[in-house]
Structure 1
Amino acid sequence: MVLPPGWVRIPLRGGTWEALDEKVFRGIEEIPEGVPREKGMAFRLAVRRRIGRMVGEARKAGGLDLYVPARARPGVLMAASFLVSELARPEGEAASPEVVLGRLAGDRRGGEGGALRGVGGTVAVRWEYVEPPGGEDVDMYARHVDYVLPVPGDDGRWLAVNFSTGGDGAPGSEFTRALAELFDALMTTFRWHVAE
């Protein structure tokens, strides 16, 4: 997957804390406007702690990788992230990926059904919806874009890729919708790599 400038991958199954230190804490090269220079270290620590909490939640959700913007653009950090997780087919479910995708497309998220899309040479189900504030770190409405897709050649394994953004604080604004479109553009670069 091709990431936009300033975004970093935090692996969740190994090397997590090293990545947080190197890519997030040290990776914040520019402190956002409005943060006094003498508060730069405190800002970096606060961002690292917040992303550290996101890492804990992502691991509980079965996450493989967490992607976050770690550089200010322009002068502010973007409130967005996405998580790649592995899903297992439910025990006793012997349906083909096509049947499962059809069922998933009927699921509703935020009142909307899913849509089928091509991703990485396979078919995925995509949802886009808005959720109200909730949880310790979520104090605004968030726009979500979720993809679920089968792992080619292994009918029992699936991936979920879940994007979330607070955007500019308004889930229906042009800016917030543009971030969702940016994520969709990232998903067009998704490719499978078979480990040898």
Structure 2
Amino acid sequence: MTEQSLKRSLVPTGFNLVLPPGWGKIDLHEEVVNDSVLALVDRSIDQLPQDLPRDDVSKVRMELFKQLRKAARKASRANGMMLYLPVERVRGSVVPASFVVSEPITATGAGFHPDQVLKGVAAERGESETVTVDGSAGTRVERIVPPPEGSEIEFPSRRVEYILPLPGSPFPSWLAITFSTIGDGKPDSEYTSALVNLFDAVMTTFRWSYE
């Protein structure tokens, strides 16, 4: 599945959204993920000072590829199909944020009702509210997640998830778009909140595409 074409012949067949300046995307499908990562690496390397020694550029390129490939593997293991993240530096630093669009989740068993599923998911994941995205009702869930035990991450992350029902699907199906940021290390700070607001603004541009 790509951004333009969902895995199965459903209605809608895909989606579009507008990224902030300086952001890029990685297609997480195994056959194209390396090409997607390399494209972002090249884009980031183009920002380096022109007088930087070639050996240093090679080291930066290799390290950046490893970091992005690691992020892609993590997102893929979480059922992701597209990973979006900043690749251009702001005041010398990369913005500590990203979001993942997951493969569609489909409820095929008897007795499932879309509203019940959405309410159940929302109750498990944090504070929720109903939102309208591209003319349809979805669910927005927000929570603060502590750093994983035993990891190198020191700060909690602030996460926002949009769960959107797929219009026209023969079975109740949903697309999950999950944003995560550590911000400046303070989940409720002005900077962290600004990054959350940026993601919410991106979601106002989300549109289903039809072929």
- Answer yes or no: same fold by TM over 0.5: yes
Q: For residue 79 of structure 1, what is the aligned residue in structure 2?
A: 96
1:142 maps to which residue? 157
Moved more, 169-178 or 112-121: 112-121
TM-score w.r.t. length of structure 2? 0.80
Deviates more, 1:90-99 or 1:184-193: 90-99
Displacement after TM superposition at 1:120 (Å): 2.1
| Unaligned stretches of 5+ residues in structure 1 | none
Q: Which runs of 5+ in 2 are unaligned?
A: 1-16
State the TM-score, normalizing by the size of structure 1.
Answer: 0.85
2:141 alignment counterpart? 127
Q: Cα 1:3–1:49, aligned 2, differ >3 Å: closer, same or farther?
A: same
Question: Cα offset for 1:67?
Answer: 0.3
Conserved 8 A contact 1:6-1:69 = yes
SS at match of 1:66: strand
Map of 1:31-46 to 2, 5 A cutoff? 31=48, 37-38=52-53, 39-46=56-63
Q: In the aligned structure 1, how far is the partner of 2:184 from the partner of 2:47? A: 20
Where 1:101 maps in the other structure, the secondary structure is helix
Tell which has more relative contact order, 1 or 2 (C-alpha 8 A, sep 6+).
Answer: 2
**CA distance in 2 between partners of 1:114 and 1:121 (Å):** 19
Pick from 40, 47, 51 the counterpart of residue 30 of structure 1: 47
Partner residue, 2:3: none
The offset of 1:116, in angstroms, is 0.9
Deviations 1:79-107 (A, max 9, x none): 111000024234414434334334434x1
TM-aligned CA distance change 1:125 to 1:46, over 3 Å: same
Taking a change above 3 Å as real, the CA distance of residues 93 and 121 of structure 1, as seen in their structure-2 partners, is farther
Task: Give the RMSD, CA atoms, in angstroms.
Answer: 2.2
Partner Cα distance (2:61, 2:156) in 1: 25
Greater mean deviation of Cα atoms: 54-63 or 128-137: 128-137
How many residue pairs align between the two structures? 188
Q: Deviations over 1:97-140 (max 9, x none)?
A: 334334434x143xx33111111222111111111112645332
Instruction: Give the whole-Å Cα distance in 1 for the aligned partners of 2:89 and 2:200.
Output: 21
What amino acid is aligned across from residue 28 of structure 2 in structure 1? L
Q: Residue 12 of structure 1 corresponds to which residue in structure 2?
A: 28
Give the share of equivalent positions with the same residue, in percent: 37
Deviation at 1:46, TM superposition (A): 2.2
SS at match of 2:100: strand
Which has the higher mean CA deviation after the structures are superposed, 115-124 or 43-52? 43-52
1:69 aligned residue: 86
Q: Structure 1 residues 76 and 98 mapped into 2: Cα distance closer, same or farther (>3 Å)? A: same
Q: Match of 2:197, SS?
A: helix
